[in-house]
Each structure stands twice: as structure tokens, then as C-alpha cells.
């Protein structure tokens, strides 16, 4: 790292959003320290591939390690901006004996990172990646930042707990936190467990699609470049201790989404409907007016354009 250069720390840098965010920060001229633990929720090889271009960049340095165990001070002393993207993902996998994995990686790790920030007064912003899961299955749409928060999955509970930690470390120790509630981010490098990734892959391979529920649930999909831009806007936001919805404005029924993907690919497959899974919600729909007003956030990529990009990436990945 160059002495006196402005550095950023990205946790979860080998992940879907973290790798895109790291690349964007490098494009903007920042030094980037990436940390990732390579937790085994999906194959390590996928994350290693996400890092391919990053590791070639002279202003990127990578640290493999878990936030629960790393000595964080050597890294925090060198950065002005922290983007905490690392988390144990997955609503459906967060039940039962797996819950400890979520409490450790989503709550304990966040608390440890925030605690370490107390001795790094040069930090200007700590941006936390939260989730629309904190709202739960609310009938009141669109979801607003001051809507009631009643998560219906253990995953959502841990994301909300970490949000509360960000607020209390700002309130009590002036750690300059901002929480961004992502609404279903998609695009190239999307995690293999996520719906759009699975739908595109199944159609490309001519395999049936499995849908949990009747397909009449809706999601507000957010293209990854728009989620990344929200982080860039948040890092320069003059106030702290606040929360913003980050949605793409592309709310669509899952059945319509599948039809659109099939149209874009010129192929169709059978759809098998399964029982609704515990923790799934019926609808998500972000009110992003606060983010637009305060951050200047405005999503740029619509669902069809975004799907075309993910389809192209998927074809390259599958060598089709």
C-alpha cells in the first residue's frame, strides 16, 4: 500500500457483492484491503474466481481470515472507510443447529469489528450490509425504514441484531456507521443458492425449475452495480447512525420473472412448485425515497438489462 493513500477495508471481499465493490473502489483510485474467511456455504472455487482480477491489481491486498479471530488492528489503522459485507448468508439454512454459524458470523463478527474500530479514530465511515429480511413478512408495502421490524427467519434476526450493534456503537462510541438494507441483489457472480442464478442455470441446461410457493410472491430485485453505488454514496454521506433501503425498483412476480428469463433465452422448461419454506416472505418492495433524498441514490439498471448481464456471465461460466 502506498503511504498516505486513502484505503478501504472490504470484508467478504471474495463474495458476490464484496468483489464487485472492491473493483469499483479500485476504479475510483482507492487502496483496498480485502478480507474473507471462505466459509463453506458454497464452493471456495467460486469465490477464488471472484478474486481473479482483484489479485492482479497493485492497489489490492488480500487477507484470508475470520473476523472472529484475526488481529484487526494492523488493518484498521490503515483505512478510512470500512465496508462490512461479510456474513453467513441464506434464510432457509439458518434454522436449528446451524443457527450458531449465523450468530457467530453475523453478530459476533460484527461486534468484534465494531469494537476494534474504537481504537481507529481516523475511520470516516463504517458501511454495514443489512438486508430486507429485517422487515419480515409485513403486509404493509412498500417497506419504509421506520416500518415495524419483525424478521421471520433466524438469518433476518441476526442481520437486525448487527444493525442494532452498528447503531449503538455510533450512539455510544461515535463509530460512524451507516446500514444499507439490500433488497435481493442479483447480477454476475450471484451466489449459486439464489433464485435468479438457479433459474438461469436450469433453463440453460434444460432442467426443470423448482419454485417454493406458488410463484405469486414478489421480490424487489436490485442489480449489483446499483447496490455497489449505494455503498459509494454512503461512504461520503456526512451523517451517521442511519439506515437506508437499497432496492432496484424492479419488483416482479416470480412467475413473471421465470417467463422473462425464458423469453430472453428463447428456451422453456417445466416449473415444479414446492411447499413454501419456513422463513420465506410473500413480498418485498423497497421505498427508496429516503436513500434518494439523503444519499442521491437512484437505481440505474432495470430487470431486463440486469438479467441479460447475468445470463451472459452464466453462459461464460458454464462454457455455453
Give catalytic residue positions.
155
Q: Which cell numbers hold the place of 22?
A: 472492491
Measured distance CA(201)–CA(195) in Å, rounded: 10
Say if CB 221 and CB 174 are below 8 A apart. no
Q: Strand order of the sheet with strand 7-11? A: 60-64, 31-36, 7-11, 81-84, 125-131, 177-182, 242-246
**Max Cα separation, the chain?**
57
Contact 30, 235 (CB under 8 A): no
176 HSE (CA, 13 A, CB side): 16
Q: What are residue 32's phi and psi, to 5 degrees?
A: -130, 125
Amino acid at each position: 500500500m502506498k503511504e498516505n493513500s486513502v484505503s478501504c477495508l472490504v470484508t467478504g471481499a471474495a463474495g458476490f457483492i464484496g468483489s464487485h465493490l472492491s473493483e469499483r473502489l479500485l476504479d475510483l483510485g482507492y487502496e483496498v484491503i480485502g478480507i474473507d474467511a471462505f466459509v463453506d456455504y458454497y464452493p471456495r472455487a467460486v469465490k477464488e474466481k471472484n478474486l481473479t482480477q482483484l489479485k492482479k491489481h497493485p492497489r489490492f491486498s488480500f487477507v484470508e481470515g475470520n473476523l472472529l479471530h484475526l488481529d484487526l488492528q494492523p488493518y484498521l489503522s490503515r483505512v478510512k472507510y470500512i465496508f462490512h459485507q461479510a456474513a453467513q448468508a441464506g434464510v432457509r439454512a439458518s434454522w436449528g443447529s446451524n443457527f450458531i454459524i449465523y450468530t457467530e458470523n453475523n453478530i459476533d463478527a460484527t461486534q468484534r469489528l465494531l469494537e476494534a474500530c474504537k481504537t481507529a479514530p481516523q475511520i470516516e465511515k463504517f458501511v454495514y450490509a443489512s438486508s430486507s429480511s429485517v422487515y419480515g413478512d409485513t403486509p404493509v408495502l412498500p417497506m419504509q425504514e421506520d416500518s415495524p421490524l419483525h424478521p421471520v427467519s433466524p438469518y433476518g434476526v441476526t442481520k437486525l441484531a448487527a444493525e442494532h450493534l452498528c447503531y449503538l456503537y455510533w450512539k455510544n462510541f461515535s463509530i460512524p456507521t451507516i446500514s444499507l438494507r439490500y433488497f435481493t441483489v442479483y447480477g454476475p457472480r450471484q451466489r449459486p443458492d439464489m433464485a435468479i442464478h438457479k433459474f438461469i442455470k436450469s433453463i440453460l441446461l434444460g432442467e426443470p425449475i423448482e419454485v417454493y410457493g406458488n410463484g405469486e410472491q414478489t421480490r424487489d430485485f436490485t442489480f449489483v452495480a446499483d447496490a455497489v453505488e449505494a455503498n459509494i454514496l454512503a461512504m461520503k454521506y456526512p451523517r451517521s447512525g442511519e439506515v437506508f433501503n437499497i432496492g432496484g425498483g424492479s419488483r416482479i412476480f416470480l412467475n413473471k420473472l421465470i417467463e422473462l428469463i425464458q423469453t430472453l433465452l428463447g428456451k422453456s422448461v417445466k416449473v415444479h412448485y414446492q411447499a413454501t419454506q419456513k422463513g420465506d416472505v410473500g413480498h418485498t418492495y423497497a421505498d427508496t425515497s429516503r436513500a434518494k433524498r439523503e444519499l442521491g441514490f437512484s437505481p440505474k439498471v432495470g430487470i431486463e438489462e440486469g438479467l441479460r448481464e447475468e445470463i451472459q456471465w452464466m453462459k461464460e461460466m458454464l462454457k455455453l
